[in-house]
Amino acid sequence: MKKGLILAPDELSHKWIDRLVSLGVTELQIQFLEGDLVAFEKEGTPACLQLDGYLDLIDEAKARGLSVEYMAHGITHMLPRGLFDEHPEYFRMNAEGKRTPDFNLCVSDPAALEIAAQNAVRFAKSLYGSCERYHIWMSDTQGRYCQCERCRSLSPSDQHLIVVNAFAKAIREVIPGALVCFLAYQDQLKTPLKIKPEAGVFLEYADIQRDQHVALRDLPERHAEMKSLLDFFGRENSMVIDYWYDNSFFSRWTRPPQPFKAEDKIILDDAKFYAEQGFEHLTSYAFYLGREYEALYGEPDLDSYKLV
């Protein structure tokens, strides 16, 4: 498996690049924050990529052998919310039968999908130094999909796959080798029932709800759906995201970061388990381990990742 780590954009540094190289990581993923996406919508470029010196960091990462890719819960910026007043039909219908621009979109509206797909193309082209793997995700929420008459019978996973297929088709018209992920996460962890993946779509599996203090091998209730997803999407290009080094998760997403201790035994066993399932790419969040963490606690111990 190829090995990555996901960093917050404001934590990327020369120090982190050194650390990635010393851990044997070859894939750097950066997950945009909301401010990056707002800047993309307004200015055409995510905010961090406009900062002085940031592109030099990306160049340095690549020069040191890392591929670079970007991730984002970006759907609300692919279909700008400002369109709601004129075109409420682009947006999701909630359980009360009202159209709302709060999350996601109506996946049965062709114009909404077309606008989102064209913005996904602009987004893909704005990603400095990116490899050809794209991660444009639905809203980070649960139970908030479209319930209009046409969408109601589509599961959250089917609704997500309709969007991913539209993105893959549009992006591959300008970047023929582009790959676009289906993010199996929260209520999209179930295999799609009615929609099939188009060319260029790959599985990205991120089971945030699983118990992080027990090896995945010992959580058989999590296995069937994962295997079903792998069978459905295929193992080629598949990626698994774990939370082993995600100190934002262990700090309950509240600063300051808490002291971090990796669960090395679980990490090594989980990595082996993922390899046995046939995943090709493996990564983990590694938020809240940057400068602020070091100033409080010194260098975090990530050495177990060398053995993965």
Q: Cβ closer to Zn ion: 91 or 233?
A: 91
Beta-carbon count within 10 A of 226 CB: 22
Task: Name the minimum Å distance from CB 113 to Zn ion.
Answer: 10
Backbone angles phi, psi at 133, to 5 degrees: -110, 125
Residues contacting Zn ion: total by CB under 5 A: 5
Q: Is 106 in the site for Zn ion (CB under 5 A)?
A: yes
Q: Is 100 in the site for Zn ion (CB under 5 A)?
A: no
Alpha carbons 246 and 229: distance in angstroms, whole number: 24
Token code pair at residue 293: 């963490």
Task: Name the minimum Å distance from CB 109 to Zn ion.
Answer: 6
> Which one of residues 55, 131, 148, 208 is an interface residue with Zn ion (CB under 5 A)?
148
Q: Cβ closer to Zn ion: 90 or 273?
A: 90
> Which one of residues 108, 118, 139, 155 is an interface residue with Zn ion (CB under 5 A)?
108
Contact yes or no for 289/255 (Cβ under 8 A): no
Stretch that binds Zn ion, among 5-13, 52-60, 148-156, 231-239 (CB under 5 A): 148-156
Alpha carbons 90 and 286: distance in angstroms, whole number: 35
Contacts of 153 (CB under 8 A, 6+ apart): 194
Q: Cβ closer to Zn ion: 98 or 125?
A: 98
Stretch that binds Zn ion, among 82-90, 117-125, 147-155, 274-282 (CB under 5 A): 147-155
Token code pair at residue 143: 């139970």
Q: Cβ closer to Zn ion: 145 or 182?
A: 145
Task: Name the minimum Å distance from CB 94 to Zn ion.
Answer: 11
> Which one of residues 151, 184, 226, 308 is an interface residue with Zn ion (CB under 5 A)?
151
Backbone angles phi, psi at 184, to 5 degrees: -85, 105
Stretch that binds Zn ion, among 95-103, 135-143, 149-157, 208-216 (CB under 5 A): 149-157
Q: Is 201 in the site for Zn ion (CB under 5 A)?
A: no
Give Cα separations from 14 to 6, 40, 61, 133, 257 (angstroms): 15, 25, 9, 24, 20
Contact yes or no for 285/249 (Cβ under 8 A): yes
Q: Is 105 in the site for Zn ion (CB under 5 A)?
A: no
Q: Is 79 in the site for Zn ion (CB under 5 A)?
A: no
Task: Name the minimum Å distance from CB 153 to Zn ion.
Answer: 10
Alpha carbons 223 and 219: distance in angstroms, whole number: 7
Beta-carbon count within 10 A of 35 CB: 13
Q: Cβ closer to Zn ion: 22 or 141?
A: 141
Please provide the distance, in angstroms rounded to a whole number, between the alpha carbons at the two ends of the chain: 9
Q: Is 195 in the site for Zn ion (CB under 5 A)?
A: no
Q: Cβ closer to Zn ion: 151 or 240?
A: 151
DSSP line for 194-238: S--PPTTEEEEE--TTS-TTS-GGG-GGGHHHHHHHHHHH-STT-
> Which one of residues 146, 178, 184, 267 is an interface residue with Zn ion (CB under 5 A)?
146
Q: Is 154 in the site for Zn ion (CB under 5 A)?
A: no
Which residues of this chain interact with Zn ion, rule CB under 5 A? 106, 108, 146, 148, 151
